[in-house]
A and B are shown apart, each in its own frame.
Chain A
Amino acid sequence: MSNVNIPVRKFDAVIVGAGGAGLRAAIQLSEAGLKTAVLSKVFPTRSHTVAAQGGVSASLGNSEQDHWHWHMYDTVKGSDWLGDQDAIEYMCRKAPEVVVELEHFGMPFDRTDEGKIYQRPFGGHMSNFGEKPVRRACAAADRTGHAMLHALYQRNVRANTQFFVEWMALDLIRDAEGQVLGVIALEMETGEIVAFHAKATVFATGGAGRIFHSSTNAFINTGDGLGMAARAGIPLEDMEFWQFHPTGVAGAGVLITEGVRGEGGILRNSSNERFMERYAPNAKDLASRDVVSRAMVTEINEGRGCGPNKDFVLLDITHLDPATIMKRLPGIREISIQFAGIDPIKAPIPVVPTCHYQMGGIPTNYHGEVLDANGQVVKGFYAAGECACASVHGANRLGTNSLLDLLVFGKASGDSVVDALRKDAVAHKDLPANFADRTLARINRLNTQTGGANVNDTRLAMQRTMQNHCGVFRFKDKLEEGVRKILEIEKEVARTEIKDKSQVWNTARVEALELDNLIEVAKATMISAEARKESRGAHVRDDAPDTPENPNGRDDKNWHKHTLWQRDGNKLSYKPVTMTPLSVETIALKTRSY
């Protein structure tokens, strides 16, 4: 197939991704009368946003006094001062507006007796600049993400957004001036390759948590947006920062809620020792997520892990009354039985720190416009949600801030597109002659490869390497070796072979194409992490310990800056953190302690 044979469909705007961020952006565009296409690998309400249960943050002050400035302070502190303060102010100020808007779209929030949106406390969210916990999380029972997607989807249907379901975007189209002119995509049902020619392209493709062996993320999170951006010469920002959850079921990754330790669950090593007593004598098993995760990894690294490979620890609730387990922790028994093969009433559950959330991503400003390595806006290109880095989460995200991120920056990116298209009411710029060459070369390579690497094996090798060399607790030697290994695995990814060469519903091909994206994210992560010689937020290095000069191992003098990784030559560069908010004073650097 050549460029001339590729059907071209024209839209004002194309959005890749139909999770919270993509759907929120689409509303702005369609309601402004723009002809909008939304592409998704799955039906919109099957996007990963559904998995979010905890809630969405906004300083509504419905249950007690609250203020966006306090929310901003918490977010800056949570980010370990790596978040950009203009973007953080923007997000926290906009939060009440976007949440109330969502309510008007039909979101069934839990309510107080007076009929206001009910709010509950959530880790890291405080009143009066870090004084005491505040009720800021808005939820719809334990199905907040699900309810959010349904409300946003219905609104889009009303606004005539055109959905392309079970379509996979493969690459960005960029012209010689660097302007983005749409995407090339694959329709799974026909195997057809189509160009979506657009005046504006919005990426809302979600996270890439599947680069790790142990991940709470669903299989769909393969970082396609990041891979496409990287191949098109766009840098990826702060990819060394990944949030881990301490208790994922070993092997499967399925999340065991913090509530289990809240109800008295105890972590044990191979000698049955309650090891958290050594690391956190007061809080013990209820210490903060990062402290618990690091203790677990230390136990495993020092040979006190459990199982034949000594590669997990145990979460023990066998001392609890079975009736309490059934009543207070519904579903946990089923999860343990199905995903660990263990009845937790009788035996402890094997757990490991598990990748949960990606803080870094495609660099944007707070308008959702994508920035190149020089900080210049890339014309025609926007990004929002977990695939983007605005940067509001910096080195560590606060719970409930990501659903907020989707709403605020989904909407902002949509507004930016509407503005841009109004300002220069231009016709579509011509597609360059070679617009699909790179994509077609990739597909042709897959169709003709013989004697190549198996996709599953290669993915697994990548995931194991990321987990062992770039996990929740990082070591100089392991990172250096990790870089070498991941570059070796990249060579295997370049020669993957699929046995099924058919056109229609070729899932083997799709999985190989997903792996092309995963490997870009894995490289960005490993290389950025190896280079950052400090500990900050979720990036914790054994050789950057807590000292009086560098509390928590954070080295502001040398490392208070954003990483930018570029695919070409694996080049790293750095850019300053924006410390000037929009209207208030800078929240000055301080040691992060709770």
Chain B
Amino acid sequence: MDREALNRLRWRCTRRAMLEMDLLLGKFLDERFPALTPAQAEAFAVLADMEDLELWPLVNGTQHCQDPLQAEIVAMLRDVRVK
């Protein structure tokens, strides 16, 4: 991903409505995103485009993801530790 696209994604991951999402997506971008396959990166971009109140229930496990690839990314997001 080129600098521009990555910066755009970074902005959309770290300027969100909920602090929880800023923290998780920002950390994910730093730690996990670089190692994703192109298909996984695509799935992450779709998730990052969701509104916080759609994404948060998936991440905190109160709802489940239908799409298998997205579910894989959600599982990774659930593994992120912000400390």
Contacts and interface: CB of A to CB of B under 8 A. Distances in A.
B4 A505 contact: yes
Contact of B81 (A41, A338, A505): A338
Nearest to B21: A218
Interface in A518-571: none
B16 to A, nearest CB: 6
B23 A50 contact: no
Given A50-B53, A216-B19, A505-B7, A252 B82 contact: yes
A103 interface: no
Interface centre among A50, A166, A215, A510 (most CB of B within 10 A): A50
B4 A339 contact: no
A338 B80 contact: yes
B28 to A, nearest CB: 11
Interface string A263-289: 000000000000000000000000000
B81 A334 contact: no
A119 interface: no
A507 B18 contact: no
B80 to A, nearest CB: 7
B19 A341 contact: no
B81 A46 contact: no
A216 B20 CA distance: 9
A335 B78 CA distance: 10
B14 A219 contact: yes
Interface of B: 3-4, 7-8, 10-12, 14-24, 26, 51-53, 59-62, 78, 80-83
A252 B23 CA distance: 8
Contact of B16 (A42, A215, A330, A502): A42
Contacts of A337: 81
B17 A50 contact: yes
Contacts of B18: 50-51, 218
Interface centre among B19, B24, B53, B60 (most CB of A within 10 A): B19
Contact of A220 (B15, B60, B83): B15
Contacts of A46: 15-17, 51-52
Nearest to A147: B53
Contacts of A432: none
A340 B3 CA distance: 32
Q: Please report whether the interface of chain A is mostly helix, strand, loop or mixed according to DSSP.
A: loop
A462 B7 CA distance: 25
A254 B23 contact: yes
B16 A331 contact: no
A217 interface: yes
Contacts of A41: 15
B17 A338 contact: no
Interface of A: 41-42, 45-51, 143, 146, 166, 188-189, 215-220, 251-255, 330-331, 334-335, 337-341, 500, 502, 504-507, 510
A341 B3 contact: no
A62 to B, nearest CB: 25
5 contacts: A218-B19, A219-B14, A252-B19, A334-B78, A507-B7
A252 B83 contact: yes
A188 B83 CA distance: 30
A188 B18 CA distance: 21
B39 to A, nearest CB: 24
Contacts of A253: 19
A107 to B, nearest CB: 15
Nearest to B18: A51
Contacts of B12: 42
B4 A504 contact: yes
Given A338-B24, A338-B82, A507-B10, A42 B19 contact: no
B16 A218 contact: yes
Nearest to B80: A338
Contact of A219 (B22, B24, B78, B83): B22
A20 to B, nearest CB: 12
Contacts of B81: 337-338, 341
Contact of B15 (A42, A330, A335): A42
B83 A341 contact: yes
B31 to A, nearest CB: 13
B64 to A, nearest CB: 14
Contacts of B80: 338
A247 to B, nearest CB: 14
A166 B11 CA distance: 9
Contact of B20 (A330, A339, A507): A339
A217 B19 contact: yes
B72 to A, nearest CB: 18
B62 A146 contact: no
Contact of B11 (A51, A502, A507): A507
